[in-house]
Amino acid sequence: MARETKAQRHERMREQYIRLIELYPVAQCSLHHRNEWELLVATVMSAQTTDERVNSVTPELFDRYPDAQALAQAQLWDVENIIRPVGFYHMKALHIIELSQALVERFDGVVPHTMDELTTLPGVGRKTANVVLGDAFHLPGFPVDTHVKRVTSRLRWHTQWRKTNPDPVEIEKQVTAEFPPEWWADVSHRLIFFGRNICHARNPECEVCPLASTCPAAPQFLAQKAEKEARKKYAAQRKALKGQRESLR
């Protein structure tokens, strides 16, 4: 693509986001929760696993430990046994018990609603805090997970796209500058859905992607896929020809 001006990039981002809205009309967190505390705990457990796995363990966890006061007094081994399917269960169990203890000791068991306060809790980083701000409190929050990093890099929504591991804080800063604060959480959700369903880390489905015509990365991926298919076809033809030759002997 030719070098864009900031105004051109802004216009392209808005156009691409409109297509994401059409693709995913409903934008909401896929972690099951009934209140801000459950969302906080579920989000901490969602690191390096799927939301489906987290949703498979939270009913039992929250039935046994319905609030911060209860989980703060839990035995580590018991929580580990419940959340084992989510992976890294020892560290995650430790974090959710310790953050519950911190909530009880410092916030009377109530989840705070500022970035500065949330990130003082054990196991809570900026991404988790943004999830809670945006989905529990409906405040400006733009979570940057692995899908958001990948998709926004391929779409060139920020200047970090050349980096192998772009800075999530810089991505958040640059992307949120292009959208109203009340949109931030929904923008993140739609980017995540898009990354999960179409713009995969490996083999993105550019041939069916509604953003492909305006995506800077699509031509390269389409060319790679075409070359791969051509090689497979050539190999199949050689194999068939070899079989024909052997049958004539």
- The catalytic position among 6, 92, 108, 127 is 127
CATH number for 110: 1.10.340.30
pLDDT, residue 248, reads: 65
Residue numbers of the chain with a pLDDT score lower than 50: none
**217, 151 in Cβ contact below 8 A?**
no
Inside any domain, residue 248: no
Domain containing 43 equals 36-136
pLDDT, residue 178, reads: 96
Inside any domain, residue 66: yes
Is 149 labeled as catalytic in the residue annotation?
no
End-to-end CA distance of the chain: 54
Could you give the C-alpha distances from 11 to 112, 154, 194, in angstroms and in order? Answer: 36, 16, 20
Inside any domain, residue 187: no
Burial label, 201 (beta-carbon count in 10 A; 0-12, 13-18, 19+): exposed
Number of domains in the chain: 1
pLDDT, residue 2, reads: 63
Q: Which amino acid is at 21?
A: I
The answer to whether 215 is annotated as binding is yes
Inside any domain, residue 114: yes
- The catalytic position among 92, 135, 145, 149 is 145
Inside any domain, residue 86: yes
Inside any domain, residue 123: yes
Q: What angle do CA 137, 56, 21 make, to 5 degrees?
A: 50
pLDDT, residue 90, reads: 97
The answer to whether 29 is annotated as binding is no
SS3 11: helix
Residues 30, 76: Cα–Cα separation, whole Å: 26
pLDDT, residue 73, reads: 98
Residues 120, 164: Cα–Cα separation, whole Å: 29
Residues 38, 62: Cα–Cα separation, whole Å: 8
pLDDT, residue 226, reads: 84
CA dihedral 153, 155, 157, 162 (to 10 degrees): 40
Is 127 labeled as catalytic in the residue annotation?
yes
The answer to whether 206 is annotated as binding is yes
Inside any domain, residue 27: no
Inside any domain, residue 208: no
